[in-house]
Chain A
Amino acid sequence: MNGASSSEGGPNNLLKESKRPKYTKFTQQELPACKPLLTPGWVMATFMVVGIVFIPIGVVTLLASNSVVEIVHRYDMDCLPPTLATKTDRVNWVQNSLVDHRCNVTLTVPKRMKRPVYVYYELTNFYQNHRRYVKSRNDQQLRGDSVTSLDSCKPLATGNGQPIVPCGLIAWSLFNDTFTFASGAGAIPVDNTGIAWKSDVDSKFGENVKPSNFPNNNSTGALGPIGGKALNANLPLKQDEDLIVWMRTAALPNFRKLWGKITDRDLEAGQVVNVQIANIYNTYSFKGSKKLVLSTTSWLGGKNSFLGIAYLTVGLICMFLALVFFLIHLKNPRPLGDTSYLSWNKKNSDRSRS
């Protein structure tokens, strides 16, 4: 080789460094590699293992979900005078601050509910995830940083030339039904602190930010129809956990929000809980519904059998597949690396057969 290059290229070539590429496993693309193939053995083993792992997980999670006790009660229709048949009537009624909106609801505890018992309200058909709605807030303002523009909050950015705090649709439409729990004679206190995420409380809402110029629901005039809850101008936003929970908007139009916790007692099976509800939040105009939910939790969370069922289903399918592959393989095995399966050989043999 060298002889050829020197005799042909002349002496110059000897001086030049050879351009021969360096050998490394990488540059020559000879890195050791595994080439997994789905051979029958592997296929069966894979399905088998998945089945064996998934089925117990499914059972355990299903049990966890089943251990949760949950009471769901829809009250928006119960708490409506039955005479109100049309949407307009209902809306007028619910928005009329002069009418008494209180109503009483009794809940019976089906099974023992160990504390803490979580109290939720559930809204349906409420698009907290509508883009228009989601954007209508100002995080800087909420944090108490200096605010450059409240454009995103329009039309609830300013009132009477002053910025509205907290501005925007979300805060303005805060859920404002209230629930008072009692059992027998004694009231059941509901703790509404500690229901928001600590990070939200700590970092997203300012200590010194207090509601100001806020269009409370009884205000009329330029700011139009009634909104949600009136905010206490003396309560810093940081301490208004209802607002904080509300402002962490939901992913879907049907959602629950944590309203409070019953932490001082367990609810016994068969116990009757009386709830006085102030039904003032308007869900009637957009065909939404309102529910009151009491629930315990397991190590996994609330009542949700999805994980368990899904695990079981996938696990069982895998076991089944393992079996099917096993049976087919018994009946009709393909020898590995049989060159007669090569497409070009196959066509030949097909032809010769025919």
Chain B
Amino acid sequence: MAGITKLWKRKKGSNSGAGNGTVVNGHDEDSRTIHCNRPDHGLFSYAGNKTSTRKYSWWSFVPLALFVQYQRAAYWYFTAMAGLSLAPFAPYSAISVWLPLIFVLVLGLLREAWEDLRRARGDRELNNRPIEWHDGNGQFVEKRWRDLRVGDLVRVKDGDFFPSDLLLVSSTGPDGICYVETMNLDGETNLKARQALEVTWGIDGKDERKLKDFTAELLCEGPNASLYTFSGRLKYNNAELPVGPPQLLLRDSSLQNTGSVLGVVVYTGHDTKSMQNSTPPPTKRSRVDKYLDKVIWLMFALLLAMATLTGVIIGIRTKQDGTDIWYMRPTESNPYYNPQKAAIVGIVGFFNGLVLYGYLIPIALYVSLEVVRVAQALFMINDIEMYDPASDKRARVKSPGLNEELGQVDTIFSDKTGTLTSNQMDFFRCTIQGVSYGKGTTEVERAAEKLGMPLGPSPRDPRPDSTRPTSRTQSVDNAIEVDTESLGPENNPYKEKGFNFYDERLLAGKWVQEKSAESIRFFFEILALCHTAIPEGTPEEPSLMRYRAESPDEAALVVAAKQFGFYFYKRTPTTLHVRESLRPGDPPRDQVYQLLDVLEFSSLRKRMSITVRFPDGRLLLLSKGADSVILQRVDRKRSGPVAETTRHLKLYGEVGLRTLVVAYKVLDEEEYKSWAKRYADARSIIGKERESRTEELAEEIEQGLTVVGGTGVEDKLQAGVPEAVDRLARAGINIWVLTGDKVETAINIGYACSLLRQGMDNLIVSLEGSEARAIEERADREGWSRDKIQEGQKNFVSRKLDDALQLVLNGHVNPRGTSTSERKISVSESLQSALSRSMSTKSSGANLSRNASKNAAGTLTRNLSVTNGRHSRNPSEGKIGVEMLPLVDGQKVGSNGEGLDQREWAISKESALTQSRKGPPAEPTEYALVIDGQSLAYILAETVLQERFLEVCINCNSVLCCRVSPRQKAQVTTLVRKGLGLHRLCLAIGDGANDVGMIQAANVGVGILGVEGAQAAMAGDFAIGQFRFLERLLLVHGRWCYRRISLMILYFFYKVCMMGWIAFYSNIFAYFSGNPLYNDWYASFYNTVFTSVPIVVIGILDQDVTPAEAFRYPQLYQSGQRGELFNFKLILWWLAISLYHSAVIFFFPLAIYSGLSAFRPGGQVAAAQDFGAAMFTVLVLVPNLQIYLAFHYFTWIHHLFIWLSILSWYLFIIVYGALPTSWSTIAYKEFIEVLAPSASYWLLQPLVVMAALLPDLVFRSIKSVYRPSDYQIVIEQSKSKRDSQHQV
């Protein structure tokens, strides 16, 4: 909690500046006085309730948006160039430079404007929402949110959002209680209770007079960002009462399960806590983009060098030649040729060169990138494979600028609830009176099976081997089986949200035929009664009934009871109404149970109970809770089926179910009476004592229980998660799960979604383990100061990290530690044998005895047997097990063997770092780090530890951070991203508001489009409907985008550089005077028409392998992580190609069009313009045809645009040449009259193309034949497959 608070305390930043003047008193306001029900309406000039998330206002738009545009270094350059083009010495006309620049800028501005308008539309919707406002005369009238003022009294109805931060005055719920959902604030889906001060309960909407007369003065703190604190004093009826968080209803949360509430507006608009928390989204730029900036600087340096050279040479030559060159009339001053002022000639020459060679820095690249990224985004959005039919949502792309980032991800930070799991609990199994019911396989089982690691014996009662392999749970009762053959766990007619249970022995009223029907009935009754869920819906429609419960698993139990015929449909403070239908044909009977007391659930108690009087008069205590807690409190004589239940629940846990024990106790009337009185007294105590007192009394009555059975609820993984995680891992992506869950739960889910795999070593750094607890105990004993405890814990964490580091780096632990490095692989088939027969691996087993490992359990355990029964996998599956078997007696391995093993370890470490994470079974050990939030806090506080931590993590395949706060999530993400020299490209994925920090901190943020709450999706750069789409987003779209953008940028530099080089070559022969060989329009059209479209098509469409192949070979993804498609080497390579090509393009035509020999039978020799046009022809041909060499994917669109581009040059020169001479100048009839009729012109073209492409062709041939790239082999493979199919 403290962490969250801190997170939200972040500086408000520039947010306030962006608002349109609604922030008045600002954040310096220390306290405010609010006259309840007597709104100030401007008197105190508090902020209005109008909010704005816009970045610009109409007047600041142009300058601010331009400022945003100009954050790109290249734009400054382009503007400078455009400025230079206005100078009289510019070699090109100004318009040909200004047009593209204006185009890019306008495009950027339009996009900004569009986004801002969209935000404005969202704001308008919010600001115009209606709210019932008390008009001061006892009437409620409708008002808009934006019109609310501090002090207003408003009424909020069930399901509605609070328009501002409100002080709760009264609620239609009992005791002034209302429930709020804070999903949008902290990501928690459970309902939280808020309670009004008792003195104001009576003010409700019904009594006009009370409403009218209500007046109070609230003195409270000024606006701040802390979501969990609030303090103030309410002066009401001459009394002064303290108010705090329980009375505060926050904007962005909603009212649930409560008819309506009245509240007084405390903070409005940008003063509200949620708005104070909002941070402006960071502007992110992709790695490629940043690299591009560097390349631009490089090119700029090159350009400067070339321009300087030009200036110097022309200056010196002009000085030297002096008056010799009479035809320039050197005596007349002219900045281009003036021997008297050679320096000026040089400077002019320099600037002239800047513009002339300015092609080196392509503005068209930026235009094209924008276009391509938008198109890529459209492909993502329109991908059917990323459409989620359940929520009817497509993928969304908010930052197309980060597309290619998706192809280079090293590390994924994932939220758990709602991201990996669907946050939906389904009733899956139960055990009643020692008999286990429920069929079907859990996701965990399925995942394990898929990965070839069956989970030992099935958790169900021992049964004969099944005949149907799909369902390993077959009923003994064959008669029933026959009847329901078409039905089963996979085809379950009773399935609904919260209920995925199938067992024909219990369903459809069949349970009455069971042996212990009475117990079963009782079990169902307990499920239907013992909870705090609130039914929502009409009682007559059970299928539409929704239960609002504190947690989804509780709701699942109530749903289960309903399915079994005990339909809970109504709750009053004192009664519970259940409609019982015992047999299918019987009419349902309504039963009313008297609810006496509720002993609520708390994470400390881990149980909840109610006392209830059954319709038949029995007085009972019904309990459900964690097995450890309940079993401690059973009656020794009437314990119920404890042994079987325990066994079943253990097995349930093993397959990933959340388990609860259900128990009861018959209460003695007298005893209860005395207890009830004391309990009521305790509850009425005001102050701290109340809690401990009620606790004691609950403890007193929750004794002597009798177990009835237990339940297993599945926390459903989202569809396809294990597969996606597995493939992403194989793609070389490290996956971190950051969750608020307990270590054990996290490890469970880790296995379920194949983050943790068999053969992986789990390194656990936790301050909840036994050794860590020992520190606390010692501290208690010796009365350590707080600092000392922290010191001790820090040392502990640091030591653990050291050991982990030793392990992952060297494959052994330093022998000093008490910590073990045992790699225990249990070969046992049950829990007991697993514990007793843990065995050491060859890696380190010889170092330490087995006993040592046991002593140090709970510390750094490379241990597969941590979690509930996870160890009982049979390792004889797969090679790991085989490898292990001879080593059961680890001690027997001699020292020789040990040395050998260590060498192998060293090798395996290297490979674990550099290549695929999962391969043949002979792969070396993989590591997983599990760390808890408390340990993380110590690590994050110190640089040394951070470094160590990072190094461990980078050597681990999976990292699980448990019990972390949202702030820690963001911190860890930032740490890894900035990574102290270990830069990694991080992607964060989450669904809740608590993930926003992480999503913003990561290089790429992906939001899950949850059913409720869109904060994460809003904050994310991308949003998808399901976690599994991430796989396609990365492995397919990301890889493609990275490839496309990389290819595009490289090719772009190649082709624009050719223009630059050629300008330079021609300058060499033209006294460095900077006279372009061709008309401005040739040059302008070069980048916009003749060579622009094919590369854009490639940027949009290029593929190497198909999605299917990408999934089959996830390793292909690693080329992106290694940056193989865009790096300095490749840039140099392409620059070299462009140098060579431009040389061929320039000098080959020059040999024919030098002006020395006739180039056609008519005897004419070529002039500058003839040479220029001929050269330009091949300058268009070569890069367009180079595409066929450099790329490997051609659809008809590619062909069309390549040839259209080539054709466009000829068309251009024909059409442009046909214009009057005042337009066409040197191009006039150039093609028709001069070039086309000469054979040499046509012979030149294939020659130049071939000569230019030849070296590249040779190089690529050699590479393709003898050093094939990965994707090439994959294509070859599928090609040969297709061919062989054809032959067959």
Assembly CA distance A338 to B1077 (angstroms): 51
B392 and A13 contact, CB distance less than 8 A: yes
Contact of A39 with B1264 in the complex, beta carbons under 8 Å: yes
Q: Which of B1040, B1158, B1276 contacts A337 (CB 8 A)?
A: B1276
Contacts of A329 in B (CB 8 A): 1265
CA distance A255 to B1159 in the complex (A): 13
Q: Which of B619-627, B669-677, B849-857, B1267-1275 contacts its partner?
A: B1267-1275
A336 proximal to B (CB < 8 A): yes
Looking at B553-561, B817-825, B864-872, B907-915, the stretch in contact with chain A turns out to be B907-915
B329 CB within 8 Å of chain A: yes
Q: Which B residues touch A43, using CB under 8 A?
A: 1261, 1264-1265
* A273 located at the interface, meaning its Cβ lies under 8 Å from any Cβ of chain B in the complex: no
Q: Taking the complex as formed, is A106 at the interface, i.e. its CB lies under 8 A from any CB of chain B? A: no
Say whether B334 contacts A344, CB under 8 Å: no
Verify B1228–A199 contact, CB threshold 8 A.
yes
**Which residue from chain A places its CB closest to the CB of B1147 in the assembled complex?**
A306
Interface residue stretch chosen among A73-81, A126-134, A232-240: A126-134
Structural contact, A325 and B1221, CB atoms closer than 8 A? no
Q: Which of A40, A132, A249, A339 contacts B1273 (CB 8 A)?
A: A339
Q: Is the CB of B1221 within 8 A of A204?
A: yes
B1226's nearest neighbour on chain A, judged by CB, is A248
Which residues of chain B come closer than 8 Å to A197, judged between CB atoms?
Answer: 1164, 1229, 1233-1234
Interface segment among A97-105, A159-167, A179-187, A307-315: the answer is A307-315
User: Does A50 reach chain B (CB closer than 8 Å)?
Assistant: yes
Q: A129-B1075, A224-B331, A310-B1251 are in contact. Are A258 and B1163 (CB under 8 A)?
A: yes
Q: Quick one: which of A266-288 are within 8 Å of B by CB?
A: 282, 285-287
Known contacts A37-B1272, A54-B1250, A133-B327; is A295 also within 8 Å of B1157 by CB?
A: yes
Q: Give B331-389 interface residues, CB cut-off 8 Å to A.
A: 331-332, 334, 336-337, 352, 379, 381-385, 387, 389
Q: Could you tell me if B1161 and A347 are in contact, using CB atoms closer than 8 angstroms?
A: no
Which single member of A2, A18, A156, A299 contacts B329 (CB below 8 Å)? A156
CA of A280 to CA of B586 in the docked complex: distance in angstroms?
129
Given contacts A20-B387, A204-B1221, A314-B1247, contact A35 B1275 (CB under 8 A): yes
Given known A-B contacts A61-B1243, A250-B1168, A303 and B1233 have beta carbons under 8 A apart: no
| CB-CB under 8 A for A348 and B1071, given A258-B1163, A297-B1158 | no
B1240 contacts A255, C-beta separation under 8 Å: no
Chain B positions within 8 Å of A126 at CB level? 327
Closest to B1175 in A: A251
Cα(A31)–Cα(B329), bound, Å: 64
Q: Given A7-B497, A29-B379, A251-B1153, A118 and B911 touching (CB < 8 A)?
A: no
A8 in contact with B390 (CB, 8 Å): yes
Known: A197-B1234, A256-B1155, A314-B1250. A334 touches B1268 (CB 8 A): yes
Residues of B within 8 A of A295 (CB): 1157-1158, 1163
Establish whether residues A29 and B1152, one from each chain, have CB atoms under 8 Å apart when the complex forms: no
**Quick check: B1270 and A342 within 8 Å, CB to CB?**
yes
- Interface residues of B, count at CB 8 A: 120
Contact with B along A225-243 (1 / 0, CB 8 A): 1011000000000000000
Chain A residues with Cβ below 8 Å from B1254 are 314, 317-318
Cα A140 to Cα B1222 in complex, Å, equals 8
A135: chain B residues within 8 A (beta carbon): 1075
B392–A19 contact, CB under 8 A?
Answer: yes
Given the known inter-chain contacts A4-B389, A155-B329, please indicate yes or no for A252 contacting B1155, CB distance below 8 A. yes
Docked complex: B1196-1248 residues within 8 A CB-CB of A: 1196-1198, 1220-1222, 1225, 1228-1229, 1233-1234, 1238-1240, 1243-1244, 1247
| Closest chain B residue, CB of each to CB of A120 | B1165
Question: Is B241 among interface residues, defined by CB-CB distance under 8 A?
Answer: no
Q: From known contacts A295-B1158, A344-B916, A347-B911, infer whether A132 and B390 are also in contact, taking CB-CB under 8 Å.
A: no
B1192 touches A36 (CB 8 A): yes
A40 to B1261: give the CA distance in the assembly, Å: 8
In residues 300-336 of chain A, which contact B (Cβ within 8 Å)?
A: 300-304, 306-307, 310-311, 314, 317-318, 321, 325, 328-329, 332, 334, 336
Q: Assess A143 versus B1168: contact at CB under 8 Å? Given A21-B387, A50-B1250, A254-B1156.
A: no
A129 to B1170, CA, bound (A): 13
Given known pairs A19-B393, A282-B326, A297-B1162, the reply for A130 and B337 (CB within 8 Å) is yes
* Contact B1148–A310 (Cβ < 8 Å): yes
Interface centre among B393, B394, B1071 (most CB of A within 10 A): B1071
In-complex Cβ contact of A33 among B328, B329, B387, B1193 (8 A): B1193
Interface residue tally for chain A (C-beta within 8 Å): 119
Q: Does A190 contact B (CB under 8 A)?
A: no
Q: How far is the CB of A11 from chain B (nearest CB, A)?
A: 10
In the complex, chain B residues 861-897 whose Cβ is within 8 Å of any chain A Cβ: none
Chain A residue numbers with a CB within 8 Å of B1046 are none
Q: How far is the CB of B550 from chain A (nearest CB, A)?
A: 21
* Contact of B949 with A by CB under 8 A: no
Q: Contact between B1247 and A310 (Cβ–Cβ < 8 Å)?
A: yes
B337, B907, B1156, B1239: the one contacting A132 at CB < 8 Å is B337
Residues of B within 8 A of A210 (CB): none
Given contacts A18-B392, A36-B1192, A338-B1273, contact A132 B1163 (CB under 8 A): no
A203 & B1221 in contact (Cβ 8 Å cutoff): yes
Among B91, B1160, B1268, the residue within 8 A (CB) of A301 is B1160
What separation, in Å, do the CA atoms of A30 and B249 have in the docked complex? 52
Residues of B contacting A328 in the complex (Cβ-Cβ under 8 angstroms): 1265-1266
User: What's the least CB distance linking A79 to chain B, in Å?
Assistant: 19
A311 to B1069, CA, bound (A): 26
> In the complex the two chains form, what is the Cα distance from A86 to B1254 in whole Å?
51
- Chain B residue nearest in CB terms to A194: B1162
The residue that B392 contacts in the complex, of A16, A297, A306, with Cβ under 8 A, is A16
A248 to B496, CA, bound (A): 87
Inter-subunit contact B1221/A336 (CB<8 Å): no
* Contact assessment for A311 and B1247 in the assembled complex, using a CB-CB cutoff below 8 Å: yes
Which residues from 141 to 187 on chain B have a C-beta closer than 8 Å to any C-beta of chain A?
none
Q: Is the CB of A301 within 8 A of B326?
A: no
Contact residues in A for B1066 (Cβ distance below 8 Å): 251
| Nearest CB of chain B from residue A20's CB, rounded to whole Å | 5
**Which residues of the other chain, A, contact B479 by a CB distance below 8 angstroms?**
none
Bound-state CA distance A89–B1161 (Å) is: 41
Q: Does B106 contact A (CB under 8 A)?
A: no
CB of B1166 within 8 A of CB of A251, answer yes
Chain A minimum-CB-distance residue to B327: A173
Q: By the criterion CB–CB under 8 Å, are B384 and A20 in contact?
A: yes
Q: How far is the CB of A308 from the nearest CB of chain B, in Å?
A: 10
Tell me, yes or no, whether B519 is within 8 Å of chain A by CB. Answer: no
Q: How far is the CA of A7 from the CA of B1168 in the complex (A)?
A: 76
B 273-287 to A, binary, CB cutoff 8 A, 1 in contact else 0:
000000000000000
Contacts A132-B334, A133-B327 hold; do A301 and B1103 have CB atoms under 8 A apart?
no
The distance from the CB of A136 to the nearest CB of chain B, in whole angstroms, is 9
Q: State in angstroms the CA–CA spacing of A198 and B1237 once bound together.
A: 14
List 12 contacting pairs A-B, 8 Å CB cutoff, sorted by A.
Answer: A5-B391, A33-B1193, A33-B1194, A37-B1192, A38-B1265, A228-B327, A250-B1168, A282-B326, A285-B324, A285-B326, A304-B1159, A310-B1247
List 5 additional contacts besides A20-B387, A118-B1158; criterion CB under 8 Å. A9-B391, A36-B1192, A37-B1272, A37-B1279, A251-B1155
Residues of B that sit less than 8 Å from A by CB: 91, 321, 323-329, 331-332, 334, 336-337, 352, 379, 381-385, 387, 389-394, 496-497, 907, 911, 914-916, 919-920, 1011, 1040, 1066, 1069-1071, 1073-1075, 1077, 1101, 1103, 1113, 1115, 1118, 1148, 1150-1172, 1188, 1192-1198, 1220-1222, 1225, 1228-1229, 1233-1234, 1238-1240, 1243-1244, 1247, 1250-1251, 1254, 1257-1258, 1260-1261, 1264-1266, 1268, 1270, 1272-1281
The 9 A-B residue pairs with the shortest CB-CB distance in the complex, in nearest-first order = A302-B1157, A337-B1277, A302-B1158, A337-B1276, A131-B1073, A118-B1163, A132-B336, A255-B1155, A38-B1264
